[in-house]
């Protein structure tokens, strides 16, 4: 099956006064039709950079980029600026990190939609656009009359639903959601996640769901990608995570040790020792080496094994284990 979003060997550095700051390192990730992929990692691991790069929203003069991003077969970086404007939001849309706080307080909810709708569907009259706004609000389980209200009149959960509806305005097939529920309480979070799941199934969307919260993706995603220091170190089917017979990357295991369990015997929660690396001074080998409980000499200076596209674990210890099993 051809993925709807196909990111291949993407590397990106920010060009700063301090020099190049690597943020993505040879990232390959595919999201198939009708699939939710969760992207998890600590703060600063490169999740938002990956999303912004996939949308081609970073200014070319601020970055050095290699690799490819294809959406429904179209290479995003080959589109002309005019085509990109038309194409973005119709094929690939994004809910930005903290975007519910970025709604314009002096514009009604409907006006936020009119900008996008009129830019792409200039022929539509105002009543036609208003009808579409009301439909979109219903899609995210808001009262359609919310269209005439202002952002400050809405709760956080309602504003978050509005930004999700905005991203869906032009029926994109691929949706990237960057921490869409982080600022919400757990009850509202749960109800929004249920709606995301229902909309994804109904419209057969491909969703890349970004979060630092492992528990969220475990309940929502079909596959989970784990990011550390700008690299994807593991992509796994959700079901495989819990199976002891399928080994996880040591960083994934460390993240999972920090999740409280509701059932079974009591277990002590453990944080991950140490700090994420300084991206301008990455170790030559595995970036997790200084914090890893399973490290071995080869990890210090040897780059991680190459990634394949769908599911993989990139770790020298696991590669060695598999080699030993085969002998």
- State in angstroms the smallest separation of the CB of 316 from ligand SF4: 4
Q: Which of 8, 9, 11, 14 binds ligand ATP (CB under 6 A)?
A: 14
Per-residue binder mask for ligand ATP (CB under 6 A), 288-317, x = binder: ------------------------------
Q: Is 54 one of the binding residues for ligand SF4 (CB under 6 A)?
A: no
Q: Find the shortest distance in angstroms from Cβ 233 to ligand SF4.
A: 7
Contact 75, 262 (CB under 8 A): no
- Give long-range contacts, CB 8 A cutoff, 24+ apart: 85-88: 85/119, 86/120, 88/55, 88/56
| By the rule CB under 6 A, 33 interacts with ligand ATP | no
The sheet carrying 312-313 orders its strands as 92-95, 174-178, 206-211, 36-40, 223-228, 231-237, 312-313
Q: Please give the Cα distance from 254 to 257 (Å, whole number).
A: 5
Least CB distance to ligand ATP at residue 4 (A): 22
Residue 154 or 234: the one with the smaller Cβ distance to ligand ATP is 234
Establish how many alpha carbons lie within 13 A of residue 154's alpha carbon, considering only the half-sphere containing its beta carbon.
25
**Cβ burial 20-33 (10 Å sphere, 16+ → b, else e):** ebbbbbbbbbbbbe
Of the pair 59, 152, the CB lying nearest ligand ATP is at 59
Write the interaction track for ligand SF4 spanning residues 216-255; mark x where CB under 6 A is met and - where it is not.
----------------------------------x-----
CA 11 to chain centre: 16
What is the Cα–Cα distance from 226 to 175, expressed in whole angstroms? 19
Residue 42 near ligand SF4 by CB under 6 A? no
**How many amino acids of this chain bind ligand SF4 (CB under 6 A)?**
11
11 interacts with ligand ATP by CB under 6 A:
no
Residue 11 Cβ vs ligand ATP, minimum distance, rounded to whole Å = 13
Structure letter (DSSP) for residue 247: P
Q: Please, which of residues 83-112 interact with ligand ATP by CB under 6 A?
A: 97
Strands in 41-189 per DSSP E: 63-71, 74-75, 92-95, 174-178
Report, in Å, the least distance between residue 199 CB and Mg ion. Answer: 22
Contact positions with ligand SF4 (CB under 6 A) in 250-289:
250, 286, 288-289
Of these, 279, 287, 292, 315, which contacts ligand ATP (CB under 6 A)?
Answer: 279
Rounded to whole angstroms, the Cα distance separating 286 from 35 reads 30
8 A C-beta contact, residue 116 and residue 166: yes
Question: Total number of residues binding ligand ATP (CB under 6 A)?
Answer: 15
């Amino acid at each position: 099956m051809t993925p709807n979003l196909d990111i291949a060997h993407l590397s990106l550095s920010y060009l700063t006064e301090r020099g190049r700051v690597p943020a993505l390192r040879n990232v390959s990730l595919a999201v198939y039709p009708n699939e939710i992929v969760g992207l998890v990692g600590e703060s600063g691991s490169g999740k938002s950079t990956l999303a912004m790069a996939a949308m081609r929203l970073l200014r070319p003069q601020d970055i050095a980029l290699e690799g490819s991003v294809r959406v429904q077969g179209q290479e995003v970086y080959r589109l002309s600026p005019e085509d990109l404007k038309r194409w973005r939001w119709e094929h690939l849309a994004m809910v930005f990190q903290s975007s519910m706080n970025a709604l314009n307080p002096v514009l009604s909810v409907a006006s936020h939609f009119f900008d996008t709708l009129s830019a792409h569907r200039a022929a539509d009259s105002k009543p036609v656009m208003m009808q579409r706004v009301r439909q979109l609000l219903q899609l995210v389980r808001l009262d359609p009359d919310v269209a005439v209200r202002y952002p400050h009149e809405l709760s956080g959960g309602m504003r978050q639903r509005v930004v999700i509806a905005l991203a869906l305005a032009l029926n994109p097939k691929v949706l990237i959601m960057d921490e869409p529920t982080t600022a919400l309480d757990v009850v509202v979070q749960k109800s929004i996640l249920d709606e995301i799941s229902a909309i994804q199934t109904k419209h057969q969307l491909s969703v890349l769901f970004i979060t630092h919260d492992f528990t969220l993706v475990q309940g929502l995603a079909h596959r989970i990608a784990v990011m550390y220091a700008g690299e994807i170190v593991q992509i796994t089917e959700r079901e495989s995570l819990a199976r002891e017979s399928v080994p996880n990357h040591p960083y994934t295991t460390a993240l999972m040790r920090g999740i409280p369990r509701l059932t079974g015997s009591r277990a002590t929660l453990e944080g991950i020792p140490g700090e994420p690396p300084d991206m301008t001074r990455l170790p030559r080998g595995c970036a997790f080496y200084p914090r890893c409980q399973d490290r071995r000499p080869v990890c210090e200076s040897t780059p991680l094994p190459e990634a394949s596209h769908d599911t993989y674990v990139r770790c020298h210890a696991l590669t060695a284990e598999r080699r030993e099993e085969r002998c």
